[in-house]
Chains A and B, each alone.
Chain A
Amino acid sequence: MRNRKWGLYVAGIALLALFPVVVGNPYYIHLAETILIYAILLFGLDIVVGYTGEVSLGHAALFGIGSYTAGIFFFKLGVPLVLVNVAASIVVTAAFGALLALPALRVTGPYLAMVTLAFGTIVQILINEMTFLTEGPLGIKVPKPSLFGHKLSEFEFFWFVAALMVIALVAVTRILRSHLGRAFQALRDSPVACDCMGVSVYRYKVYAFVISAGLAGLAGCLYTYSEEYISPNTYNFELTILFLLAVIMGGRKTRSGPLLGALIVVTLPSLLSDIHLFRGIATGAAILGVVLAGALLARKQKTARDVAIPVASVIGMAVFSYFLENIVDWRLTIFGFMTLFVVYYLQDGIVGYIRGTLEKFRPRQLAPLAAWEANADASRAWAPPAKAGEATGNLLKADAILMQFGGLKALNEVDLRVARGAIHGLIGPNGSGKSTMMNVLTGIYQPTRGGVMFEGKSIVGNTPSEIALAGIARTFQNVQLFGEMTVTENVLVGLHHTFKSNLFDVVFHTRRYRDEERAAHQRAAGILHFIGLADLAHEEARNLPYGKQRLLEIGRALGLDPRLLLLDEPAAGLTAPDITELIEIIRKIRDHGITVILIEHHMDVVMTISDIVTVLDFGQKIAEEAPAHVRADPKVIEAYLGSGAADAAHGAAAA
C-alpha cells in the first residue's frame, strides 16, 4: 500500500518534469502552468470551504492582491528578485486574508459570504482606481523572472511553478493532517464544543483565512509572471465563482479534487470556444448519459423519474449545440448549468463520487488499529499528575449568580460551592436552570450579576476557550461531537492544548511536532481504552450509537486534562447495564483527582455516586445536602422526585 503511494508520487513528479519536454507546444505548457497555479489557490480555498465550512467569495480579490503585489514590487519598487516577490505576495495577501477574516468574529455562514463578496468588489475597484500604484486599467507588464542571475525560459518557469505547486501540496496536506487541520474541521462541526475544548473558534477561523490567503497570494504572484501582463478586470466576480465551482466540482476535503477542478475550469473555456468541439462533446455526453441511464434502469438501481432530468438535459444540450451559431456568448450559461448539475447530483464532487462508487465495489475497511493502539492501556489516559499538592477546600465558588433573559430569571442569586475531589450532583426539574448554570460556569453565558472563582481566580468575563484551558471541561446535553471526524480525532481535538508546534513545525515535520503528535495519539488511544471505545477508534463519530457518543464526549473532555469536569446528563437514554458502566467510569475519573459536577435525571446514578447534591427549582436553590437527605426532603419530592409512581419507574429500572 505504502509502496503504491510512493509510486504514485514519483509518477506525478515525473509527469510534471517531463511534461514541457514531451509536449513542447508553448500554448499547452502555458495552459498546464495555469492549471497548476489555480490548483495552488484552490488548495487554499478548500481549507476555508471544505474544512471550516465557510464560503469565500473574495478569493479572486486575494488572487489579485497577490498578482499586484508581485507586479508593484517589480514595476514600482524595482525588486528583480523573484523569490523576494513571491515572499512579499504571500505575506501581503495573508495580511489581507486576516483583514477579511476579522468580521468572522461576528458573522458566519451566508453573512460572512456577503462580507467576502463586498471585499472582492472593493478590491477590484481599488486596483482599477489606484493608478499611482497599479497603473489602473492600463495594467502592468512583467517579464519572466530570473533565478540566481539566470533568466528563466518558458520551460524552466513551468518547472518553477510545478515545484512550488508540489511544495504547496505537501505543506497544505501536512497542515490539514495536523492539530491545525483538526481544529478547522472541529469548528465547522460544532463551534460551541470547539470553544469548550480550548480551541478558539474565532482564532482558528482567522488562521484558516490567513493560510488560505497566503496560498492565493502565491498563486497570484506566479500568475503575474506566467501571463507577463496583469490588468484589473481579470480578478472579477466570474473568477471567484469559477474557483468555488472548481473546488466543489473537484471534491472538497481532498487535494486531488482541487487539481481536477483546476484542470476543468482552465480547459473548459478553451473547449467551449470552438463550436465544433462543443458539439462533439455535447453529443458524446448525451450518448454517455443515455447509455448510463439505460444501464441503471436495466439494473433497477434508479427509477425512470430519477434519470429523466439528467437525460433530458444532456440530450437538450446536444440538440441545442447544433442550433448555436456562436458559443462564446453562451459560456456563462453553460457554466451556470454545470454548477447546478454539480450541486444537485455530485455533492461530494467528482473525486468524492468516484471514491463512493469504488467503495461500493470494494467496501472500505476501517483502518486497522496499530499494534500500540490495540494494546494501549488505560493508564495512558491520564496526564502526569499535577505538581500542586493535595489541596483541599473549594475548587469552584459561584456567588449570587443572577442570569436574566429578558424578564426571566433563569438563575436567581444562586450560590454554588464545589469541594475539591467531590462528585457534586446538580438536579432539578426541566427548566430549573441547571444547564444555564453549566453555561455560566463555562463562559458560554456571561452572568447578569455575580462572580465565579475557579482555583481562587475569577473567571467571569473569560471566553469559553480560556476557561477550558484553565481546567474546566464539559460534555453537552444535546451531544456536540465533531461528526465528520473519527473517534480518535475527536479526542485529539480535546488534546489540542498539548501542542506547542507552530505552522513551521507542522509544515517541516520538526522533531517537536512529531513528538507531540505521537504523544497525543498515545494519550488518545489510552483515553479510548479507558472509556471502552478503543475498537471504534477509526469510525466517524456520527456513526456511533447515542450512548457511545455520550461516552466519547467524556473522553474528549478528559483530553483537556481538566481539574473540573461538568457532565450534563451523561446517562440520558442509557439502559440499566450501560448505567452501571457509566457509574464505574465517573468514579474512576474522580479517583484520578478530577472534581465532577453531575447533572442527571437518573436518580440511581445521582444518588449512588454524589457526595453532595444541589437541587434547583425555578432558578433558585431549594436544597443542598447529602443524597440520602435530598431523597427524603419534602420540597424536593414535591418539585422534582414525585411521589409513588416515579419510584416505580426508577425503582424498577434500578432494582
Chain B
Amino acid sequence: MLTISNLHAAYGKVEVLHGISLEVPEGRVVTLIGSNGAGKTTTMRAISGMIKPVSGTVTLGGKDITGLDSYRISRAGLAHSPEGRRVFATMTVNDNLLLGAFPRLTRARAKGDVAADLERAMELFPRLKERRTQLAGTLSGGEQQMLAMARATMLNPDVILLDEPSMGLAPILVEEVFRIIRNLKERNVTMLLVEQFAAAALQVADYGYVLENGRIAVSGPSAKLRDDPAVKAAYLGG
C-alpha cells in the first residue's frame, strides 16, 4: 500500500535520513523502532509531506506522492497522527473529527457516510463520545491523543501514520491506546507505527524495521525481531 524507496531527508543542512526503504502492505501494521535521533519522526514527516524529501520516492497505492504538499497527500489517502497530538484546541471534539473528514468533502476522496463514520469513531473511542461538545484544548493529554487518532481515522485513509501515540500518557492510558491500535488492526486498517515502547509495538505489529542513524539496520517479521538478541539488547531493554 505504502512504499518508500531510498528516501533521503534533511533539516536545513543536516541530512537525517540516508536512504530509507520500507514497505507497508495493505491491512498490515508495520513499526519503526530506533533510538532517539535515529530518524523515526523524520521518516513520518517526510512521508506525509511535512518536510520535503531531498531524494527518493514515496508511493501510496501505486501513486507517486513524493514531495507533494501535505494537504494533497492527505487527499490521496494518507492520514498522519503527529507526535505531540496537535488537536485544534479551540474547536469542539466533534468539529475536530469532522475536520478529519474534510478531504472527503472535496472531489479528491469518496464522500461516503461521514455521519455514520463519526458515530463509528465515537464507538471506537468511547471517551470522546462523553466529551463531544467539549473544546479539544480542555481535554486531558490522554483524551487529546485519542482525538488525534480518531481524527486520522475520519479520513477513511488507506494508511495511517501513528507517531508516538503513547507519549506522555499515564500507564493506564497506554494500555488503552494499544487496545485501540489492535482494534483498528482487526478492522484491516493499514498502519505505520512509531512507538517509544518498542516491545509493545512489536507485539502488535506484523513487521518491524530498526532504524539506526538514518538507515535501516535490521528488518523482519515482528516475532523474529523480538527474538533477535541484538535488537533485544539495544531496543527492548535487555
Q: Which residues of A are at the interface with B, using a C-beta cutoff of 8 A? A: 359, 363-364, 427-431, 477-478, 539-540, 542-548, 569, 572-580, 601, 603-604, 639-642, 645-650, 652-655
Give CA–CA (A501, B156) in the complex, Å: 60
**B141 touching A642 by the CB < 8 A rule?**
no
Pair B235/A543 contact, Cβ less than 8 Å: no
A649, B35: Cβ atoms closer than 8 Å: no
Of the candidates B172, B196, B237, the one whose C-beta lies within 8 Å of that of A646 is B172
Cβ–Cβ contact A573 & B164, under 8 A: yes
User: If A430-B143, A546-B83, A577-B35 touch, does A652 touch B197 (CB 8 Å cutoff)?
Assistant: yes
With the chains together, A566 CA to B142 CA distance in Å? 22
Q: Is the CB of B36 within 8 A of A429?
A: no
Known: A548-B37, A650-B174. 11 other contacts (CB 8 A): A547-B36, A575-B33, A575-B34, A575-B196, A576-B237, A577-B35, A577-B235, A640-B172, A641-B171, A646-B174, A653-B198
**A604–B200 Cα gap in the complex (Å)?**
15
Most B C-beta atoms less than 10 A away, residue of A539, A548, A575: A575
**B13 CB-CB contact with A under 8 Å:** yes
**Residue from A428, A431, A639, A650 in contact with B197 in the complex, judged by beta carbons closer than 8 Å:** A650
Taking a contact as CB atoms under 8 Å apart, the answer to whether A652 and B236 are in contact is yes
Which of B36, B236, B238 interacts with A574 by CB under 8 Å?
A: B36
Contact between A578 and B35 (Cβ–Cβ < 8 Å)? Answer: yes
A648 to B11, CA, bound (A): 36
- The chain A residue with its CB closest to the CB of B37 is A545
Q: Is B57 an interface residue (CB 8 A)?
A: no
- Asked whether B168 lies within 8 Å of A430 as measured between CB atoms, the reply is yes
Residues of A contacting B171 in the complex (Cβ-Cβ under 8 angstroms): 601, 603, 640-642, 646-647, 649-650
Find chain A residues with CB under 8 A from B169 CB: 430, 601
**Count, A-B residue pairs, CB within 8 A:** 134
Cross-chain contact A654 with B237 (CB below 8 angstroms): yes
Contacting pair B197 A653 (CB below 8 A): yes
List, in ascending order, chain B residues with CB within 8 A of A645's CB.
175, 178-179
Tell me if B77 counts as interface (CB < 8 A to partner A).
Answer: no
Q: Which chain B residues have a beta carbon within 8 Å of chain A's beta carbons? A: 11-14, 16, 33-39, 41-42, 83-84, 139-143, 164, 166-175, 178-179, 196-200, 203, 234-238
Contacts of A604 in B (CB 8 A): 237
Chain A residues with CB below 8 A from B139, complex form: 431
Determine the residue in chain B with the shortest Cβ distance to A429. Answer: B170
B41–A649 touching, CB < 8 Å: no
- Asked whether, in the complex, the Cβ of A543 is within 8 Å of the Cβ of B236, the reply is no
Residue of A nearest to B177 (CB): A649
Report how far A45 CA is from B42 CA in the complex, Å: 37
Q: Would you give the shortest CB distance from A300 to chain B, in whole angstroms?
A: 13
Q: State the Cβ distance, A312 to closest chain B Cβ, in Å.
A: 22
- Minimum CB–CB distance for B227 against chain A, Å: 13
Docked-complex contact A601 and B199, CB < 8 angstroms: no
Assembly CA distance A195 to B164 (angstroms) = 30
Which A residues are CB-close (under 8 A) to B83? Answer: 546, 573
B235 cross-chain contacts in A, Cβ below 8 A: 575-577
Query: Which residues of the other chain, B, contact A648 by a CB distance below 8 angstroms?
Result: 200, 203
Q: Decide if B236 touches A653 in the complex (CB within 8 Å).
A: yes
CA distance A358 to B39 in the complex (A): 27
Tell which of A363, A601, A642 has the most Cβ of chain B within 10 Å. A601
Tell whether A649 pairs with B236 under 8 Å between CB atoms, given A430-B143, A545-B36, A601-B168.
no
B233 to chain A, nearest CB (A): 9
Provide the residues of chain B in CB contact with A572, threshold 8 Å: 167-168, 196
Do A652 and B199 touch across chains, with their CB atoms under 8 A apart? yes
Contact B237 A655 (CB under 8 A): yes
Which residues does chain B contribute within 8 Å of A653, judged by CB atoms? 196-200, 236-237
A540:B12 contact, CB within 8 angstroms: yes
Residue of A nearest to B198 (CB): A575
Question: Which of B11, B12, B13, B36 makes the CB contact (< 8 A) with A575?
Answer: B36
- Contact A430/B170 with A575-B235, A653-B236 known, Cβ cut-off 8 Å: yes
Q: Which residues of B contact A639 (CB under 8 A)?
A: 172
A545 in contact with B199 (CB, 8 Å): no
**Residues of the B chain whose Cβ atoms lie less than 8 Å from the Cβ of A364:** 13
- Which residue of chain B has its CB nearest to the CB of A648? B200
A603 partner residues in chain B, CB cutoff 8 A = 171
Q: Provide the bound-state CA to CA distance between A363 and B15, in Å.
A: 12
Nearest chain B CB to A196's CB is how many angstroms away?
A: 19
Residues of B within 8 A of A574 (CB): 36, 196
Q: Is the CB of A576 within 8 A of B170?
A: no
Q: Is B14 touching A543 in the complex (CB atoms < 8 A)?
A: yes
Q: How far is the CA of A653 from the CA of B196 in the complex (A)?
A: 9
Q: Cβ of A547: which chain B residues have Cβ within 8 Å of it? A: 35-37
Q: Kindly list the 8 A-B residue pairs having the minimum CB-CB distance in the complex, ordered from nearest.
A: A547-B36, A431-B140, A576-B237, A652-B199, A545-B37, A642-B172, A430-B141, A430-B140
Which residues of chain A are within 8 angstroms of B13 by Cβ–Cβ distance?
359, 363-364
A429 neighbours in B (Cβ, 8 Å)? 140, 142, 170, 172-173
Q: Tell me, in angstroms, the Cα distance from A569 to B139 when the chains sit together.
A: 18
Report the bound CA distance from A548 to B41 in whole Å.
13
**Which residues of chain A have C-beta atoms less than 8 A from B36's C-beta?**
545-548, 573-575, 578
Q: Which residues of A lie under 8 Å from residue B174 when comparing CB positions?
A: 601, 642, 646, 649-650
Chain B minimum-CB-distance residue to A428: B170
Residues of A within 8 A of B141 (CB): 430-431
Closest CB-CB distance, A628 to chain B, in whole Å?
Answer: 16
User: Complex formed: what's the CA distance from A580 to B203 in Å?
Assistant: 22
Most buried by A among B84, B166, B167, B199: B199
Which of B34, B38, B173 is the one whose CB lies under 8 Å from A430?
Answer: B173
Residues of chain A contacted by B11 (CB below 8 angstroms): 542-543
Residues from chain A with a CB closer than 8 A to the CB of B238 are 576, 655
Cα A539 to Cα B15 with chains together (Å): 13
CA A543 – CA B13 in complex, angstroms? 9
**Closest CB in chain A relative to B125 CB, distance in Å:** 15
Residue of B nearest to A539 (CB): B14
- Cβ distance A527 to chain B, nearest Cβ, rounded Å: 19
Chain B minimum-CB-distance residue to A603: B171
> Which residues of chain B are within 8 angstroms of A601 by Cβ–Cβ distance?
168-171, 174
Residue from B35, B170, B179 whose CB has the most chain A CB atoms within 10 Å = B170
Residues on B with C-beta less than 8 A from A649 are: 166, 171, 174-175, 178, 197, 199-200
Whole-angstrom distance between the alpha carbons of A323 and B130 in the complex?
67
A478: chain B residues within 8 A (beta carbon): 84
B67 to chain A, nearest CB (A): 11
Q: Which of B41, B166, B234 contacts A546 (CB 8 A)?
A: B41
Contacts of A363 in B (CB 8 A): 13
Nearest-Cβ distance from residue B86 to partner chain A, whole angstroms:
11
Q: How far is the CB of B101 from chain A (nearest CB, A)?
A: 26
